[in-house]
Chain A
Amino acid sequence: MAEQSNILRRLWRRWDTRLCLAVIVAYCCAALYGEAMYHSARLADRTAAYNQVREGCRYVPPAFARAGGWRARPEGCPLYLFGSDNLGRDVGLRLVQGARIAFHVGIMTSLIAIPLGVLLGCLGGYFGGRTDSLVVWLCATVASMPGLLFILAIAMVVGQGLLGVYLGIGLTTWVGVCRNVRAEVLKHRGRAYVQAARVLGYGHGRILFRHILPNVGHIVLIAFSVRFPASVATEVFISFLGIGVQGEPSWGVMINNARLRLWQGVWWEMTFVTAAIFALVLAFNHLADVLRDLLDPALRTEAE
């Protein structure tokens, strides 16, 4: 625990990573606000504010870019800080919902991929022999599947919606985590502290999960910081293609919606969604880089 707070302090000391952390925290707040909005609308059984259709308020430009100043908007329309879309829905509120879905996807896929990868990697690296062969075989099999198409196939088979996205991304991306963890556990297996634990008569489970696992914990942290933005980007892609999230304003759905209006000069929805995705993914990518350099210089050359 002391090590973790130390890392956080080191990240906070640099201006660039401090900015990244601030951006991520801001998105977290937006996502939580979106979650609250979603659930309050669901519990009260009314249309949520972000799905509110207003016929008279279609294509209202964002407040700061209106021709007649921010007050110049059709009768009875809300402020629309980020403009409104083709049905008069508030783009800003929909962006917040998109952040909520992005966090869902990033966290859920990590919750599938990382435990799976860590468990298999630990077992394979620690026990070796047949177990290891099985783990390596599983990794090689899943790794040889053509990435995006395999995710799409899983999403198609499981059915459209968030569950398909979670499973599709989660079940294909554990391989990288598993390989890294396995290689690290393999290094630790022969170390003196493990042998000492074995001489003391500790069981395999205790050695593996109480002694070795804390020493490879940094891989889990790196894996999360790498997987999160990748999952968000993949979700945008899948939802954009109409196979992922349905009926909810995911960023991918919003891009697909905005794409058709872009040709008519409705630039704001596209611009804001792009910026929202870009800022979140960039913050995570940069943080992942710095974390990797801080925690594990040996992993730096990995393509993942």
Chain B
Amino acid sequence: MLPTTFGVVALTFLLFHVVGGSPAEVVLGKNATAEALAAFDARYGYDRPLLAGRWSAVRALGETPAARLEEGGAPGLRRVPLAYALPPGVYRVNAGLAVAVLRAVADGAEREVRAEGRAPVSVEVPEGWRAARLEVGGALPDVLRLGRRNAGLWDTQFFHYCRALACGDLGVSSELHQPVARVLAEGVGPSLALTVPILLGGTLVGVMLGLVCAAWRGCVADRLILAGSTVLMSVNYVIWVLAGQYLLAFRLRLFPIWGFESAAFLTLPVLIGIVSGLGRDVRFYRAAILDEIYRPYVRTARAKGLSGARVMVRHVLRNSLIQVVTYVSLSVPFLFTGSLMLESFFGIPGLGSVSLNAVHSSDMAVVRAVVVLGALLYQSVNLLTDLCYAWLDPRVRLG
């Protein structure tokens, strides 16, 4: 469990921090100023190095060839084109000489600091000051680079990401301006109200149909149900939702179309959820029950004179429950993350519609949180299922 937990954390980090590029650019758009981007980065911790390192890049200066720098104020100095005044911190520039003009935030007083020596040299901007201008001289490199010093070697995005997850801090939604934890907590209730009936109803109907198929295997009923399940599986999920909403709610006016006010509003989405998953479920349950039906104990029970129905329910169904429980337990974590389509199309304010909106508005923090929580939940449920096996079946040993 622990290695896979680490795997989930690493994978989401890779996806959202490394592959995703700059979240600031995604949220603020391509036309945002470098200063706004840097402020966003500093606020959400994206200005640090990814995995490890003492220095991180600064948005005020892109990669600039030193030969193209303008002449500075004093002879031998060249002016560095900063996009904004540098906030407090220790900066490093790969030149032999650096002169920074600092301006106090409070009263606008100016003073100059010099750093000279072997490249790279460091300049400190103290609290309450900003570096308005920066000029470099001495031995100039081909490409000028500006770095900002971090608090420590491990003051990195990955470390902070892990620490925040360990503390249960999921960040702040950039779209809703609320803590992600609160957004998610509000969404869990409606999601569960939708998904729990779907799971219970789907399992019940699926197992019953599976029993019917297995009991009359090869007969007309079995073939019909099996063919029907293939057909059900082939109808696109999108179509289920749209057709249900259009035909049953709009045309026949059997159900309310949109909203989340009473149980009546949930009936149609639950129905659609059950029917759309039924094809796959019935096939699985049928196969699970057929696995048991040829075992010797079934023949013994029949030979003892027990009725067919009793053998099916009391003996076969009971023994195939292990597979059923495994199958059902796999969908338990998704109860919490809800259903993307059903929720957004029936106006249920659950986690599914929250995460879909977040995907649409590129709200990384929310999407990341739902993905991570869903994955961790999945693993916990898996662990619990394994423990349950050992408890239900003495032959299973935890090793």
Listed in ascending order, the chain A residues whose CB lies under 8 Å from chain B are 137-138, 140-150, 152-154, 156-158, 229, 233, 236-237, 240-243, 252, 255, 259, 262-263, 270, 274, 277-278, 281-282, 285-286, 289, 300-301, 303
Contacts and interface: CB of A to CB of B under 8 A. Distances in A.
B264 interface: no
B340 to A, nearest CB: 6
A303 B284 contact: yes
A303 B230 CA distance: 13
A110 B376 CA distance: 28
Contact of A303 (B21, B239, B250, B327): B327
Contacts of A277: 236, 239
A237 B236 contact: yes
Interface residues on B, range: 35 or more
A252 B238 contact: yes
Given A146-B333, A149-B337, 17 more contacts: A137-B3, A137-B7, A145-B375, A145-B378, A146-B378, A153-B15, A153-B371, A158-B19, A237-B237, A237-B238, A241-B356, A274-B239, A278-B235, A285-B233, A285-B234, A286-B230, A301-B287
A146 B234 contact: no
B359 interface: yes
Contacts of A152: 340, 355-356, 359, 367
Interface string B3-21: 1100110010001100111
Nearest to B374: A146
A262 B242 contact: yes
B275 interface: no
A282 B237 contact: no
Most chain A C-beta atoms within 10 Å of own C-beta, residue among B21, B238, B242, B362: B238
Identify the interface centre among B21, B233, B341, B382: most chain A CB within 10 Å of its CB: B233
A137 B4 contact: yes
Interface string B141-172: 00000000000000000000000000000000
26 contacts: A140-B4, A141-B8, A143-B378, A144-B375, A146-B370, A149-B355, A153-B15, A153-B359, A156-B362, A157-B15, A157-B19, A157-B20, A233-B237, A237-B238, A237-B341, A241-B359, A243-B360, A274-B236, A277-B236, A278-B236, A278-B239, A282-B231, A285-B230, A285-B233, A285-B234, A300-B287
B375 A262 contact: no
Nearest to A233: B236
B291 interface: yes
Which of A154, A157, A278 counts the most chain B CB atoms within 10 A? A157
B334 interface: yes
A264 to B, nearest CB: 12
Interface string B287-300: 11001000000000
Give the secondary structure class of B's interface: helix
A214 B237 CA distance: 36
Contacts of A140: 4, 7
A207 to B, nearest CB: 29
Nearest to B6: A141
A227 to B, nearest CB: 14
Interface string B323-342: 00001000001100100110
Nearest to B326: A303
Contacts of B341: 237
A144 B383 CA distance: 12
Contacts of B246: 262-263
Contact of A270 (B242, B337, B359): B242
A289 B230 contact: yes
A252 B239 CA distance: 10
Contacts of B337: 146, 149
B230 A141 contact: no
A141 B376 CA distance: 10
A47 to B, nearest CB: 28
Contact of B238 (A142, A236, A243, A286): A236
A233 B279 CA distance: 15
A234 B234 CA distance: 12
A137 B1 CA distance: 10
Contacts of A286: 230
A255 B362 CA distance: 23
Contacts of B376: 144
Nearest to A273: B239
